Amino acid sequence: MTLSLPRRQQLLDWAGQNDAWIIEDDYDGEFHYTRKVLPSLKSLDRQDRVIYMGTFSKTVMPSLRLGYVVMPASTVSAFNDTADLLASGQPVLTQKILTAFINDGHFFRHLKKMRALYQQRRDWMIAALHEVYGERFFTEQNDGGMHIVAFLTKGSCDREIAHCWQQQQLQVNALSAWYSGSGKRYGLVMGYNNVRSYDEAVALLTRPKSQTCDLLK
C-alpha cells in the first residue's frame, strides 16, 4: 500500500504520540519508474519510531536469502540478542561478497538496468491487457513495484475471474480479497516480471479470454 506524504506524516506523528513502532517493509521499493518517488517512512522519521526492513532476494536473485534491518540505535542490542537466537546460518563469505558488490557500485548499476527491464515488461503487460480485453479492464498509473492492478470496468466478479486465470496457470489475485470492510474495488493483481515479450504477454492473457468475457457479460 502506498501512502501519500501527508498520510505518512500522520502515521509518524501517531507513532510518536503513542510510543509505538512502525515496521516498514519496503517490498519492491527499489523498483520505481518515475522520478516522483515518495520518501520512505524511515527517512522522514525524526523520533526513531521506524524499523526499516528489506531483502536482496528480490533485487539480486531469489536464491540470495539475505535481508537487512535499519533500526534506531536504542534497539540494536535487543535485535542482536534476537538474531543470535534466530540466526539462519548465512555464510559470512556471502555477506562479505554482497558488501563488496554494493561498495564497488555494482548493485546500483544492476538496479538501474533492472528498472529499465521491468518498466518495459510492465508496459508490455498493460498494452497486452488492452489488446486482449479492450475496455473490460483499465489500469491506473503505476510508478513502481512488480505488479499492476487490472480494475474491472464493471461488475464485481474478480474472485471468479482470478480462479479462472489460476486454472490457466496465471498467478493472479482478486483485488477485493484484500479489503477488510466496505468500499471494495474489483480487479486482478498481476505480476509481470517474467514476461519476455509483448507477444508472450498477449498469448498468456488470451488463454482465459473466453471464460473471462463470459463472466463479464
Tens of pLDDT, residue by residue over 160-196, are 999 999 999 999 999 999 998 888 999 999 999 889 9
pTM, entire model: 0.80
Residue 18 falls inside a structural domain? yes
Q: What is the CATH number of the domain that holds 21?
A: 3.40.640.10
Chain segment 17-54, per-residue pLDDT in tens: 999 999 998 877 788 777 677 888 999 999 999 999 98
Query: Per-residue pLDDT tens for 111-147?
Result: 999 999 999 999 999 999 999 999 999 998 777 788 9
Question: Is position 175 within any domain?
Answer: yes
72-124 residue pLDDT tens: 999 999 988 888 777 666 788 999 999 999 999 999 999 999 999 999 999 99
Q: Are strands 22-25 and 50-55 parallel, antiparallel or unpaired?
A: parallel
Same domain assignment for residues 126 and 99: no
Residues 144 and 168 in one domain: yes
Q: Put the strands of the sheet holding 187-191 in their side by side order.
A: 137-138, 147-152, 187-191, 172-174
What's the pLDDT at 144?
Answer: 76
For the chain, give the mean pLDDT.
91
Estimate the crossing angle of helix 106-133 against helix 198-206, to 10 degrees: 50
Q: Name 69's bridge partners.
A: 53
Q: Across residues 5-9, what is the average pLDDT?
A: 93
Per-residue pLDDT, 35: 64
CATH number of the domain bearing residue 178: 3.90.1150.10
Regarding whether 154 and 99 lie in a shared domain, the answer is: no
Position 104 scores a pLDDT of 97
Strands 187-191 and 172-174: antiparallel
Range of the domain at 192: 115-216
Q: Give the count of domains, the chain.
A: 2
